[in-house]
Copies of this chain bind each other. A is one copy, B any other.
Amino acid sequence: MISITAPPDGPPTERALQQAGFRLTRPRMAILRILSETGGSLTPDEVQERAAVLCPGIGLVTVYRTLALLADLGQIRRVHEEDRCLAYAPANLAHGHHVVCRNCRRAVEFPGSEDLGAVIGDVARETGFRIDDHLLELMGICPACQRQSDVEQRAFTDQAR
């Protein structure tokens, strides 16, 4: 746990690392690049695979360490899925959450809202907990995958005739 810089409003950047006093290395730049460009959430394994294109020979260990660092700096966010545990998605919003497509894993951010604040306030009042953090993720099917499944559905129906 480090959290020196404030979380970003904007995509994960190299500046954030430097401002926090960390060195800007080839592996880190590669990982940052991969995460900024992904539209989805990536596991450490997937990050390594993709980052290797930009930084050949990058080690899985470095990926783990860098992901932990970036997450602590608030540049990326840990994403928990029902079973697959722990992938990472870029954090563009300081107080954001992700909707994740259960088909293609595309992740779209949305901002924390007043309604959520209301939920938290209610729970705090009713349970007596002092609530200081929350984890919200929505899961579903993204527009692109919806269209695709419509197409498949139609093909299936046609075939059945």
Binding site for B on A (CB under 8 A): 78, 80, 82-83, 85-86, 99, 101-102, 108, 110, 113, 115-116, 118-120, 122-124, 126-143, 146
Count of identical protomers in the assembly: 2
Q: How far is the CB of A41 from chain B (nearest CB, A)?
A: 13
Query: A113-B119, A119-B116, A123-B110 given as contacts; is B132 within 8 A of A135 (CB)?
Result: no
Q: How far is the CB of A1 from chain B (nearest CB, A)?
A: 9
Cross-chain contact of A135 among B78, B80, B119, B122 (Cβ < 8 A): B80
Q: Which of A78, A120, A138, A146 has the most chain B CB within a 10 Å cutoff?
A: A138
Q: Are A139 and B131 in contact (CB under 8 A)?
A: yes
